A = this chain, B = another copy of it.
Amino acid sequence: MQVYDLAGAEAERRFSPYCWRTKLALMHKGLPFETIPWRFTDKEAIAFSGQGRVPVLVDGEHVVFDSWTIATYLEDTYANRASLFCGTGGRGITRFVNSWADSVLVGAILRLIATDILAHISEKDRRYFRETREKRFGMTLEALTADRDTNVLAFRKALEPLRGILQAQPYVSGESPAYADYVVFGCFQWARCTSPFRLLLKDDPVWAWRDRLLSAFDGFASKALGYPV
């Protein structure tokens, strides 16, 4: 299998939160895969998928895009391997966690790391990244991250639902990690791969949980090029 995976100026800097979800889903299923570095503006390289964003998964004749769709494809196609959703019934509830990560975490983290992402992406991608994100937020990337020392406090407060559960169990999914963990972890990995800015305090249960996921699959995520903060 092949995964088209967002890369920065250095081909080995792989920072997309959505691609991390897909890569960890493949690791969870024990399916071997290779990644193909891709940049925001390489639209033609994935035109065969019928759209312009990654992750794109190529599994033989099957082409699947959108991280949630890929997760459900893997779950259904490789149903005899470890479940991503903790069993059939967990799919709907996992999607709630996916929705929470997308609507709460992605925007909040971008406000903390947008200028750091800009510094690490390929030069040919910079105008695209700046224009699309500045349009979305209605301000420059520099203005967006200017108050990050204050905004990180609100970000940590927004993690309360996660913190609450991690005080009671080691993973979002319960006793062992599954896709609900990967969707949230992918957001933190996005920051880790691009930014020296510290999102978490060491005494936060979220920190310890992130450490457990960095160590998962023989430290797969911990080996990624990034900042150990």
Contacts and interface: CB of A to CB of B under 8 A. Distances in A.
Interface of A: 83, 85-100, 102-104, 160-162, 164-165, 168-169, 171-175, 178, 180
Contacts of A102: 161, 164
Contacts of A174: 89, 91-93, 95
Oligomeric state, in number of copies? Answer: 2
B92 A175 contact: yes
A86 B96 CA distance: 14
Contacts of A95: 165, 168-169, 174
Contacts of A172: 92-93, 96
Nearest to A83: B89
A188 B126 CA distance: 45
B90 A161 contact: no
B161 A103 contact: yes
Contacts of A161: 96, 99-100, 102-104
Given A87-B87, A100-B100, A92 B164 contact: no
29 contacts: A83-B89, A86-B87, A86-B89, A86-B92, A87-B88, A87-B90, A89-B90, A90-B93, A91-B174, A92-B165, A92-B169, A92-B171, A92-B172, A93-B93, A93-B178, A95-B165, A95-B168, A96-B97, A96-B100, A96-B161, A98-B165, A99-B160, A100-B100, A102-B161, A103-B160, A103-B161, A103-B164, A104-B160, A104-B161
